Structure 1
Amino acid sequence: MRKFLYCEGKGFVEKNAWLPNTWVNVECPTTEDIEYLMTQFHVPDSFINDIADTEERPRIESEGNWLLTILRIPMESKEHKKPFTTVPIGIITNEDIFITICYFKTELLPDFIRYTQRKELDIRNKFTLILRLIYSSAVWYLKYLKQINNDINDAENELEKSIRNEDLIRMMQLQKSLVLFNTSLRGNEMMFSKLQSIFQEPQYMDKELMEDVETELKQAHSTVNIYSDILTGTMDAFASIISNNVNTIMKRMTSLSIILMVPTLIASFYGMNVINGLEEVKYSFAGIVILSILFSASAFIIFRKIKWF
């Protein structure tokens, strides 16, 4: 699905057809959309193929007058293995042509368009639009990081009540999302540094916006590292607790086995079909039972003192 968006000084407004300096936003492109871009704008097919790769890293590539900027943006994932993931969005520019292609439906782009309308932004050049998209992606990283932090807290509360495999798996899935966020943000930062070296012309230099983008990227990256360290420490702590609980259970089971073994051993000696000298004793059975109880009680007291019970 493609949209033609034109900035008239009060944010981006959708148009029915392409005009110079119009932003062509293509989400979940069909074969018809791809053919339109290649025939109408002569977009290099290698650029489109690169964007289609879901594992494509953030980078910049040029071909003739065309410039491809690949940015990784966050989104909620429908996969069971990770609740959040990152996907590539390709930004293709050439003089008055500005095209974005993303093979996934995300919340970032519609939110960005509404934001430009709400703030009445006047975006007139391609570098400013690229910076705004990078800034918006960093904001969405922080939004999803807050959700991840809430999920971590919920999982911790559940684990404090009862350690279940489901909660541990949930935390492991969040850890995977944090690793993806960390890798993508690091790549976005490197790509942003390269963009600054490319767009050196005075008309592109908006120092305040560039500082805001750099600050937001660093904050998102720092937040990812903090949450990742917290989650790693929490999982290590719960792993130690689980190991300690297993050791406690094994000690109790061993103690119980030894206590039960004492009367079994005595009964085995006196239960043999041989002469043992107690055949004619009137209260020999009661004595053996009492002796077994005394030995078992002594073993129990010893294990209590060494805190095995």
Structure 2
Amino acid sequence: MLNIYKTSADGILEPIEQFEKNSWIHITAPSKEELREVSHRCNIPMEFLEDPLDLEESARIEYDEETKCTLIINDFPIIDVSNLQFDSYITIPIGIILGTDYIVTVCNQSTNSLDHLIKKNVNTSMKNRVALEMLLLFSTQYIEKLKLLNKQRLKIESHLRDSLTNKQLYDLMEIEKSLVYFLTSLKANADVITKLFRTNSLTLYDDDKDLLEDLKIENDQGIETTELYTRILNSITGSYSSLISNELNKTMKTLTLFTVFLTLPTLVFSFFGMNVTLPIADKNPFSWIITLIIAFIFVGWIGLALWRRRMF
């Protein structure tokens, strides 16, 4: 899908039908024909349009001397559609291409991430400023998604205090997976931001540099928040793993004690049930009472020994 936007003379960002100078072209899950058309009309290298479509593509900056185009690949978060029962997130790349007359964004999947930018009525003739606004928007989204993940973690944690189920553990695993995606992408984006401070392919004015500083602060905050939530989650999972092991040990200990106390009377009764001559006459009416007393003596003796060892 291909959409074209341009800022009007009134400063309003409007969709247009044709390729025009100083317009913004947004491509989502494009076909080969659309890529070739954009490459030809905008004088953009084909690989600049194809690379961001690879979901495993790493964040980076690249400059083409021949066409004077700059490619910025940045990762941003989206909901993981493979998990329908829990709102977890993954990150995918988006390409921002700054040409001489156009700014082009290309992404493998449709997203509403840029809707806020469209409502903001950015000036498409200021291509570098628009690119920085996009990068800042992506960094802000990380913070928003992190807050949502933390709310879900707190909700799961409150339920864990009442009962522990496999679903809750799986949900914590999904949160942990999302945090791993976020931390990896944020650190890669941080390298891109650092290179933006040093690159000569982009002309940055004072307002652009201030925006770049805000972008760096927002991205650093995202990294710190993600690392904090990761440590908290690791602490929680570690604590509950210890609790589960402790409860299992208590259960096994209880079952072992029951087994010991039930085994001793069985041994006594089995001994006196043999078809051989025994110290207690089988015709004595008090034989069963004597047998019980012997069994209870063994149980009491073992119980006292275990109590002294603080087994219970």
Tell me whether the two structures share a fold, i.e. TM-score over 0.5.
yes
Check the 8 A contact 1:74/1:87 in 2, yes or no.
yes
Distance 2:31 2:310 in 1: 69
Check the 8 A contact 1:60/1:68 in 2, yes or no.
yes
- The Cα shift of 1:61 comes to 1.3
Check the 8 A contact 2:75/2:185 in 1, yes or no.
yes
1:104 and 2:109 equivalent?
yes
Higher alpha-carbon deviation: 77-86 or 184-193 = 77-86
Distance 1:162 1:305 in 2: 33
- The Cα shift of 1:283 comes to 0.5
Q: Residue by residue, what CA displacement relative to the aligned partner does 1:78-118 show, whole Å, maximum 9, x if unpaired?
A: 1239810000001112212210001112221123212x13x
Q: Secondary structure at the match of 1:88?
A: strand
1:285 and 2:285 equivalent?
no
Output the aligned Cα RMSD.
2.2
**Corresponding residue of 2:133:** 132
Check the 8 A contact 2:29/2:53 in 1, yes or no.
no
- The Cα shift of 1:15 comes to 1.5
**Corresponding residue of 1:239:** 241
Check the 8 A contact 1:77/1:83 in 2, yes or no.
yes
Distance 1:252 1:18 in 2: 77
Higher alpha-carbon deviation: 9-18 or 104-113 = 9-18
Which ranges in structure 1 are unaligned for 5 or more consecutive residues?
none
**Corresponding residue of 2:7:** 7
Which residue of 266, 269, 272 corresponds with 1:267? Answer: 269
**Corresponding residue of 2:48:** 47
**Corresponding residue of 2:216:** 214
Q: Secondary structure at the match of 1:206?
A: helix
Distance 1:240 1:102 in 2: 44
Distance 2:206 2:162 in 1: 56
Q: Secondary structure at the match of 1:282?
A: coil
Alignment TM-score, normalising by the size of structure 1: 0.91
Between Structure 1 and Structure 2, how many residues are aligned? 305
Distance 1:113 1:294 in 2: 86
Compared CA separation, residues 197 and 304, structure 1 to 2 (3 A): same
Compared CA separation, residues 170 and 202, structure 1 to 2 (3 A): closer
**Corresponding residue of 2:144:** 143
Check the 8 A contact 1:252/1:308 in 2, yes or no.
no
- The Cα shift of 1:140 comes to 0.5
Q: Residue by residue, what CA displacement relative to the aligned partner does 1:152-210 show, whole Å, maximum 9, x if unpaired?
A: 11221222111112211211111111011001001111101112212564647623212
Distance 2:307 2:163 in 1: 26
1:85 and 2:90 equivalent?
yes
- The Cα shift of 1:125 comes to 2.1
Q: Secondary structure at the match of 1:224?
A: helix
Q: Secondary structure at the match of 2:161?
A: helix
- The Cα shift of 1:297 comes to 4.9
**Corresponding residue of 2:180:** 179
Check the 8 A contact 1:74/1:84 in 2, yes or no.
yes
Distance 2:125 2:7 in 1: 7
**Corresponding residue of 1:223:** 225
Compared CA separation, residues 138 and 285, structure 1 to 2 (3 A): same
Compared CA separation, residues 305 and 29, structure 1 to 2 (3 A): farther
- The Cα shift of 1:41 comes to 2.3
Alignment TM-score, normalising by the size of structure 2: 0.90
Check the 8 A contact 2:76/2:91 in 1, yes or no.
yes
Which ranges in structure 2 are unaligned for 5 or more consecutive residues?
none
Distance 1:164 1:21 in 2: 56
Distance 1:46 1:254 in 2: 67
Check the 8 A contact 1:138/1:217 in 2, yes or no.
yes
Pairs within 5 Å for 1:166-205: 166-199=167-200, 201=203, 203=205
